[in-house]
Amino acid sequence: MFGPKVKISKDLMEKIKKYSALAGYSSPDEFVLHALEKEIAKLEEAGSDEEIKKKLQGLGYIS
């Protein structure tokens, strides 16, 4: 798969590798893609930008 890349720390990558293997994903990439899709789907349920901001605050992504 080719496309945009995101830099992450070595520590986080080690956790991703560990959890993706434990969960039975075929690769860390597949695990990260699935996790991000789930989080984005939660945000897409919002009806407005304000509601999205509230959800992001509730999830701790923004203060």
d(CA 54, CA 11): 29
* Strand, helix or coil for residue 53: helix
Comparing 24 with 60, the larger pLDDT belongs to 24
**Distance of alpha carbon 55 from its chain centroid, rounded?**
15
Pull the structure tokens for residue 63.
């203060």
Residue-level pLDDT at 56: 87
pTM above 0.85, yes or no: no
Q: Residue 61 pLDDT more than 90?
A: no
List pLDDT tens digits, range 1-56.
578 889 999 999 999 999 999 999 999 999 999 999 998 998 888 889 999 898 88
Residue-level pLDDT at 1: 58
d(CA 17, CA 63): 29
